[in-house]
Structure 1
Amino acid sequence: MLLRRCPDRRNRTGEIVEALRTAPDGSVIRFEPGIYDFFADDAFSGYFCPSCNKSSDKKVIFPVLRKKNITLDGGGAEFVFHDRVFPFIVQDSVGVTLENFSVDFSFPRCVICDVQTVGEDGICLSIDRAKYDYRTNEEGNLLIRAGNDEFSTCERRFFLKQGTRGNTDCCYLSAGEIFYDNDNLPAEVFYCRAEETDGGVFLRRDGRSGFSPRFTAGAELLLSYDEQRDNDVFFFDRSENITVRNVSIHSGAGMGFVGQCCRDLTLESCVISPRSEGFSTTADGILLTNFSGRVRIENCVVRNTMDDAVSVHGYYTTVERITAPRKAILRMRHRSQSFMNPYCPGDRLVVTDGKSMNEKDAITLKSARYENDPYLIYADFDEDIRGRLRPGDLIEDPERTPETLITGCFFENACAVRLGSAGKTVFENNWMLNCSGLLVNDIMSWWYASGPTNDVTIRGNVFDGCGISAFVDRGMPCEVRHRLIRITGNEFKNGAAISVRNTEKLVLSGNSTDKAELPVVTDGKVTVMEE
Structure 2
Amino acid sequence: MTALLDVTDFGAHPGLHHADAAPAIRAALRAAGAAAGPVLLHFPPGDYHVWPDGAQRRELYVSNTVGDDPRHRVKSIALLVEGTDDLVLAGEGARLVLHGLQTAFAVIDSSRVRIEGLEFDVAVPTVVDATVAGAGVTAGRAYRLIRVPPATLFSVEGTSIRWHGEVLGSGGVAWSGRDALEYTQIHDPARQRTWRGPNPLFDLVRSIRLVGERDIRIDYEHAEEPADLGLVYSMRSTTRDHPGGLVLDSTDVTLQRLRLRFLHGFGVVAQTSRDVTVEGCEFQAPAQSGRHSAGFADFVQFSGCSGRAVVRDCLFDGPHDDAINVHGSYLRVTGQPDLRTLELQYPHAETAGFPQFSLGEQIELIDRATLRAVASATVHDVRQPSGRAHDQPLRTIVVTVDADLPGGLAGWTAVENVTRTPSVLIARNIFRNVPTRGVLVTTRRAVLIEENRFERTGMAGIYVSCDADEWWESGPVHDLTIRGNEFIEPGGPAIFLDPRNTRCDGEHPVHHGVVVAENRFVLDGVPALDASSTHGIRFRNNTIVRRGPEGPDFVLRSCSDVGIDISPSSDMVGPPAPVRWEDAEPV
Say if 1:365 and 1:381, in contact at 8 Å, map to a contact too.
yes
Q: Residue 418 of structure 1 corresponds to which residue in structure 2?
A: 440
Is 1:11 aligned to 2:40, yes or no?
no
Superposed displacement of residue 358, structure 1: 3.2
The alignment-based identity, stated in percent, is 21
Is 1:326 aligned to 2:346, yes or no?
no
Superposed displacement of residue 372, structure 1: 3.5
Q: Residue 146 of structure 1 corresponds to which residue in structure 2?
A: 165
User: Quick check: 491-500 or 351-360, which moved more?
Assistant: 351-360
Superposed displacement of residue 34, structure 1: 2.3
Say if 2:481 and 2:514, in contact at 8 Å, map to a contact too.
yes
Pairing partner for 2:393 from 369, 373, 379: 373
1:44-77: CA deviations, max 9, x gaps? 1111112111352111111111111121111331
User: Quick check: 162-171 or 358-367, which moved more?
Assistant: 162-171
Q: Residue 287 of structure 1 corresponds to which residue in structure 2?
A: 301
Question: In structure 2, do the counterparts of structure 1 residues 123 and 384 end up closer, same or farther at CA, with 3 Å as the change threshold?
Answer: farther
Larger Rg: 2
Q: Residue 46 of structure 1 corresponds to which residue in structure 2?
A: 58
Q: Within 5 Å, give how 1:203-222 maps onto structure 2.
A: 216-218=227-229, 220-222=231-233
Superposed displacement of residue 113, structure 1: 1.7
User: Quick check: 495-504 or 407-416, which moved more?
Assistant: 495-504
User: Quick check: 98-107 or 441-450, which moved more?
Assistant: 441-450
Is 1:397 aligned to 2:431, yes or no?
no
d(CA) in 1 for partners of 2:193, 2:280: 24
Question: In structure 2, do the counterparts of structure 1 residues 354 and 150 end up closer, same or farther at CA, with 3 Å as the change threshold?
Answer: same
Letter of the structure 1 residue corresponding to residue 277 of structure 2: T
Q: Residue 132 of structure 1 corresponds to which residue in structure 2?
A: 152
Is 1:170 aligned to 2:197, yes or no?
yes
d(CA) in 2 for partners of 1:259, 1:156: 31
Pairing partner for 1:490 from 490, 515, 519: 519
Letter of the structure 2 residue corresponding to residue 241 of structure 1: D
d(CA) in 1 for partners of 2:207, 2:304: 45
Aligned length: 505
Superposed displacement of residue 446, structure 1: 2.6
Superposed displacement of residue 232, structure 1: 2.9
Letter of the structure 2 residue corresponding to residue 3 of structure 1: V
Is 1:438 aligned to 2:462, yes or no?
yes
Letter of the structure 2 residue corresponding to residue 483 of structure 1: H
d(CA) in 1 for partners of 2:342, 2:180: 36
From the two aligned structures, give the one with the greater strand fraction. Answer: 1
Pairing partner for 2:532 from 491, 501, 506: 501
Superposed displacement of residue 499, structure 1: 1.4
Say if 1:143 and 1:150, in contact at 8 Å, map to a contact too.
no
Is 1:345 aligned to 2:353, yes or no?
no
Say if 1:293 and 1:402, in contact at 8 Å, map to a contact too.
yes
SS at match of 1:340: coil
Letter of the structure 2 residue corresponding to residue 503 of structure 1: T
User: Quick check: 385-394 or 270-279, which moved more?
Assistant: 385-394
Is 1:110 aligned to 2:127, yes or no?
yes
d(CA) in 2 for partners of 1:173, 1:331: 40
Q: Within 5 Å, give how 1:177-192 maps onto structure 2.
A: none
Letter of the structure 1 residue corresponding to residue 544 of structure 2: T
Q: Residue 67 of structure 1 corresponds to which residue in structure 2?
A: 84
1:227-251: CA deviations, max 9, x gaps? 4112233111111110111111011
SS at match of 1:11: coil
Q: Residue 585 of structure 2 corresponds to which residue in structure 1?
A: none
d(CA) in 2 for partners of 1:508, 1:47: 47
Superposed displacement of residue 255, structure 1: 2.9
1:271-300: CA deviations, max 9, x gaps? 111123511101111111111001111211
d(CA) in 2 for partners of 1:356, 1:299: 37
Superposed displacement of residue 311, structure 1: 0.6
Say if 1:159 and 1:173, in contact at 8 Å, map to a contact too.
no
Say if 1:352 and 1:360, in contact at 8 Å, map to a contact too.
yes
Question: In structure 2, do the counterparts of structure 1 residues 268 and 130 end up closer, same or farther at CA, with 3 Å as the change threshold?
Answer: closer
d(CA) in 2 for partners of 1:204, 1:259: 46
Letter of the structure 1 residue corresponding to residue 63 of structure 2: S
Q: Structure 1 unaligned runs (5+)?
A: 176-189, 206-214
Question: In structure 2, do the counterparts of structure 1 residues 520 and 309 end up closer, same or farther at CA, with 3 Å as the change threshold?
Answer: same
Superposed displacement of residue 267, structure 1: 1.1
1:320-341: CA deviations, max 9, x gaps? 2123443222111111112032
Is 1:21 aligned to 2:30, yes or no?
yes
Is 1:472 aligned to 2:472, yes or no?
no
Is 1:520 aligned to 2:554, yes or no?
yes
Q: Residue 574 of structure 2 corresponds to which residue in structure 1?
A: none
Question: In structure 2, do the counterparts of structure 1 residues 123 and 342 end up closer, same or farther at CA, with 3 Å as the change threshold?
Answer: farther
Superposed displacement of residue 169, structure 1: 4.2
Superposed displacement of residue 136, structure 1: 6.0
Say if 2:342 and 2:399, in contact at 8 Å, map to a contact too.
yes
d(CA) in 2 for partners of 1:37, 1:82: 7
Is 1:458 aligned to 2:482, yes or no?
yes
d(CA) in 2 for partners of 1:490, 1:348: 36
Superposed displacement of residue 107, structure 1: 2.0
Is 1:88 aligned to 2:88, yes or no?
no
d(CA) in 2 for partners of 1:239, 1:392: 34
SS at match of 1:527: coil
Letter of the structure 2 residue corresponding to residue 166 of structure 1: R
Question: In structure 2, do the counterparts of structure 1 residues 11 and 65 end up closer, same or farther at CA, with 3 Å as the change threshold?
Answer: same
Q: Residue 180 of structure 1 corresponds to which residue in structure 2?
A: none
Question: In structure 2, do the counterparts of structure 1 residues 357 and 458 end up closer, same or farther at CA, with 3 Å as the change threshold?
Answer: closer
Superposed displacement of residue 28, structure 1: 1.8
Over the residues paired in the alignment, what is the CA RMSD in angstroms? Answer: 3.2
User: Quick check: 109-118 or 277-286, which moved more?
Assistant: 109-118
Superposed displacement of residue 122, structure 1: 11
Letter of the structure 2 residue corresponding to residue 485 of structure 1: V
1:150-187: CA deviations, max 9, x gaps? 54558995212232553434258999xxxxxxxxxxxx
TM-score (norm: length of structure 1):
0.86
Superposed displacement of residue 402, structure 1: 0.4
Q: Structure 2 unaligned runs (5+)?
A: 67-71, 168-172, 386-390, 566-587
Is 1:101 aligned to 2:118, yes or no?
yes
Say if 1:157 and 1:174, in contact at 8 Å, map to a contact too.
no
TM-score (norm: length of structure 2):
0.78
Letter of the structure 2 residue corresponding to residue 2 of structure 1: D
Say if 2:131 and 2:148, in contact at 8 Å, map to a contact too.
no
Letter of the structure 1 residue corresponding to residue 118 of structure 2: F
d(CA) in 1 for partners of 2:65, 2:185: 20
d(CA) in 2 for partners of 1:460, 1:438: 13
Superposed displacement of residue 470, structure 1: 0.9
